Amino acid sequence: METTDKIKQQIEENAILLYMKGSPKLPSCGFSSQASQALMSCGEKFAYVDVLQNPDIRAELPVYAQWPTFPQLWVDGELVGGCDIILEMFQKGELQPLVKEAAERRDASENE
């Protein structure tokens, strides 16, 4: 499978997906740490891809997303943004409902 196809599949299969350096429990950079903390604070489970373990995705995703940096948060197939946007949305109370609604749709479709 080509890298772009793998990225598309990951984004399609995961309602809430964070491309980051490291993992939520062991982030490998400060920005990924802050982004995953904000996401975990929303209280919904989310998928993540460690771009350090996937150099092909690390190279290809910025081109596909037209977004140069990591982390990248994708919700319902749409790029939300990087660390600054995630934190700003969290502080304004905009991230929580976005994540909650995506999780509810995901859970509803899994139970059909």
Q: Summarize the annotated binding site for glutathione as residue ranges.
A: 21, 58, 70, 83-84
Q: Which residues pair with 81 in a beta bridge?
A: 73
Q: How far apart are the C-alpha atoms of 21 and 48, rounded to whole Å? A: 10
| Contact between residue 59 and residue 7 where contact means Cβ atoms under 8 Å apart | no
Could you list the residues known to form a binding site for [2Fe-2S] cluster, using ranges.
Answer: 29
Instruction: Tally the C-alpha atoms within 13 A of residue 96's C-alpha that lie toward its C-beta.
Output: 7
Query: In 10 A of CB 60, how many CB atoms?
Result: 17
For 47, the 3-state DSSP assignment is strand
Could you list the residues known to form a binding site, using ranges.
Answer: 21, 29, 58, 70, 83-84
2: CB partners within 8 A, 6+ apart: none
